[in-house]
Structure 1
Amino acid sequence: MKQLLKAVLIAAALVVLIKVFAFTSCTIPSTGMENSLLRGERVIVNKWSYGLRLPLMGMTGYHRLAARGVERGDIVLFNNPAGKGTIDRRELFINRCIGLPGDTLMLNGQLIQTRDQVLSPDSKLVYAYPGEQEDLVVEAMRRVGIGDNKLVGFDRGDFLRSFSHYEIYLMRQELRGQVTFRSLQTDTADGVHPFVVPARGKAVKVYPWNAKLLCNTIVQHEGRQARLQGDTLWVDGRRVTSYTFKKDYHWVASNNSVSLCDSRLFGFVPDDHIIGRASLIWFSKDTEEPFWHGFRWKRFFRLVQ
């Protein structure tokens, strides 16, 4: 009897050690990752995929052994960035990483990634507009503070000027449809803007379209006081036009855009919230069929892609 009890205790201890320091299992709670992971499937998460995040963060802080970066396209398990309390005790989410630290994503008004050309907010494109509206354009440039922007050419009665994404945003806001600007290169759809995913030690410029997201990130994860006044960001009582982040962040998305349990809901995911990569599906059943004949044994131990 003692030998049996000893064996049970050793086995239990090994299971706990493996779960804490090597692998864990989680159940997919929703349909947000369908086509890759189905609701009710159980997956194994490798805690060493990005280096082991040491437990007891509430006591010892954030430490990661053999740290390495997430790869674009990985399905990652992480703690809720918008949760309360100690990070490693928060609710778990699982999503696909589509934006790495330093990446620029083209997101629309719903913060969904688009197929538009990825460009810097300050990259220049050449725009054409009717020559008879030159006075309106020059006056608008003066009002929004765009100086030293000379004509770059003419095209069948149109005047040509180069504007950055931010400058053309300001011009369109200022002119309110009075002037139609036509890009001679690949332009982005209306309402689509470049969002830079913050990286440790790098400054991110503040624009009207990213100010709220940056403000929330600074308050929740950088430990600073921040607020918005219109489109202006204030940090620790000072107006800022850019902010240098202390952490690496990621942008994650559901496979199913209807599911809002991704970065559209809770914003950027800091590196200290990431647990590991979903590597293997070890249990699956067809939730659309009755329990007693819905098992799909051929789906057991399927690699997560």
Structure 2
Amino acid sequence: MKFTNPFKRKKNEADKPKKSKTREWLDAILFAVVASTIIRGLLFSAYAIPSASMEGSLLTGDYLFVSKFHYGARMPITPIAIPFLESTVTGAKIKTYWDGIQLPYYRLPGISELKKNDVVVFNLPSDSLIPVDMRSNYIKRCQATPGDVISIVNSQLYVNGKANPNPPKGQTSYEVITDGSSINPQVIKDLKIEIYAQLTDKSYIMIMPKESVAEMKSYSNITSIKPFVEPKGEFDPSIFPHNAMFKWNNDNFGPMLVPKKGATIRLTDSTVALYAHTVQSYEHNKITKANGVFYVNGKQANTYTFTQNYYWMMGDNRHNSEDSRFWGFVPEDHIVGKAIITWMSIDSTGTFFDKIRWNRILRPIK
């Protein structure tokens, strides 16, 4: 009878070379990069709030988790890029991607549709000189979805003729009149007030939360506080569509239709003024006019049909936000994901002991 030594290794195990420490580290790093790339690309990404455009719903210094599976993960359009880096480094001079290959837009199925009042991360549409998925990331609240008609009347947003609820923690501007005496800087800090402009030695434009207004009025050197609203009919050339045909501004705007995939508009001077930029920049079709006749890509046309959906995004800090009022619609292919939770918040103005805003950690975003 032949006996087998149970402690003797098989030949293929004995002959298999043992990995070096360096190889083990390289394998671990490669696995971590691949795993994190898949998670970041398909499930979640982390973003920081760099500005005050969403105050006080989101604060400068908030760090967010953004879900990509809610609306469906967008597949890479620019597949060759260095992971985990911005599109440019060293003062926006060196690109971290190669745009020689551009893939068509495709999005995996999601678990929900993008809805009104969702807080959304998207690529900035006005960064038109670089690929869509390499453009700057912005975060705003979706105020209107495809097919909606939006208007702003005396700073109140209306969607399809109904007043849209204002964000509970949103901020706006007030004209504050004093008796000429100075305002205590500590009051400004405690009430979370931003002095946006000083008009005279007694008059200021201040951005503040609604709950700060009553307390501000209680101070003896404050003689008047009233909402600051840009008057109807006053043309602001920085406001979309940047055309004097539409005398619109921050607080009085529209009405205007948000384009929907498959929706058809009649081509007129006014509709072309409103939508030609959208058609050319995001749908890559050209609308021209000659001798009173409109042409789409050189062919005579009376109408135009949109090829994708669009959204209207605005910041909760209405008078300190660069949003759709300035650069227009956000195309569907620019949508990154839904902001769902604040996982960390750091106050850069705080001292060592109160730099972290503990009450905002793991806080759901509404």
TM-score by length of structure 2 reads 0.56
- Residue 35 of structure 1 aligns to a residue whose secondary structure is coil
Q: 1:117 to 1:221 in 2, by over 3 A?
A: closer
- Residue 64 of structure 2 aligns to a residue whose secondary structure is strand
1:222 aligns with 2:283: yes
Question: What residue is the counterpart of 1:155 in the other structure?
Answer: none
For residue 232 of structure 1, report the CA deviation from its aligned partner: 9.1
Question: What residue is the counterpart of 1:204 in the other structure?
Answer: 265
Kept in 2: contact 1:211–1:228 (CA 8 A) = no
Quick one: distance in 1 between partners of 2:158 and 2:147?
19
1:11 aligns with 2:32: yes
Question: What residue is the counterpart of 1:267 in the other structure?
Answer: 328
Q: 1:273 to 1:105 in 2, by over 3 A?
A: same
Letter in 1 for 2:150: L
Kept in 2: contact 1:99–1:252 (CA 8 A) = yes
- Residue 157 of structure 2 aligns to a residue whose secondary structure is coil
Match of 1:246 among 282, 304, 307: 307
Quick one: distance in 1 between partners of 2:259 and 2:44?
29
Question: What residue is the counterpart of 1:65 in the other structure?
Answer: 108
For residue 82 of structure 1, report the CA deviation from its aligned partner: 1.6
Question: What residue is the counterpart of 1:290 in the other structure?
Answer: 351
**Could you list the per-position Cα deviations for residues 3-49 of structure 1 after superposition, in whole angstroms to 9, with x for gaps in the alignment?**
45543442333222211221111111110011221112111111111
1:96 aligns with 2:117: no
- Residue 24 of structure 1 aligns to a residue whose secondary structure is strand
Structure 1 unaligned regions, length at least 5: 120-189
Kept in 1: contact 2:149–2:159 (CA 8 A) = no
- Number of aligned pairs? 232
Kept in 2: contact 1:78–1:92 (CA 8 A) = yes
- Residue 65 of structure 1 aligns to a residue whose secondary structure is coil
Quick one: distance in 2 between partners of 1:88 and 1:117?
31
Letter in 2 for 1:45: V
Kept in 1: contact 2:150–2:158 (CA 8 A) = no
Kept in 2: contact 1:211–1:232 (CA 8 A) = no
- Residue 219 of structure 1 aligns to a residue whose secondary structure is helix
Letter in 2 for 1:62: Y
**Could you list the per-position Cα deviations for residues 145-168 of structure 1 after superposition, in whole angstroms to 9, with x for gaps in the alignment?**
xxxxxxxxxxxxxxxxxxxxxxxx
Question: What residue is the counterpart of 1:85 in the other structure?
Answer: 130
- Residue 273 of structure 2 aligns to a residue whose secondary structure is helix
Flag the structure with larger Rg.
2
In the TM superposition, what are the counterparts of 1:46-57 in structure 2 within 5 Å?
A: 46-57=67-78
For residue 202 of structure 1, report the CA deviation from its aligned partner: 0.9
**Between the two proteins, what is the percent identity of the paired residues?**
32
Question: What residue is the counterpart of 2:44 in the other structure?
Answer: 23
Quick one: distance in 1 between partners of 2:268 and 2:314?
22
Kept in 2: contact 1:82–1:220 (CA 8 A) = no
Regions of 4+ moved over 6 Å: none
Quick one: distance in 2 between partners of 1:16 and 1:191?
44
More helix by share: 1
1:236 aligns with 2:280: no
- Residue 342 of structure 2 aligns to a residue whose secondary structure is strand
Match of 1:213 among 255, 258, 274: 274
Q: 1:222 to 1:108 in 2, by over 3 A?
A: farther
Match of 2:120 among 47, 65, 76: 76
For residue 233 of structure 1, report the CA deviation from its aligned partner: 6.5
Quick one: distance in 2 between partners of 1:244 and 1:264?
23
Letter in 1 for 2:113: G
Kept in 1: contact 2:144–2:159 (CA 8 A) = no
Q: 1:6 to 1:87 in 2, by over 3 A?
A: same
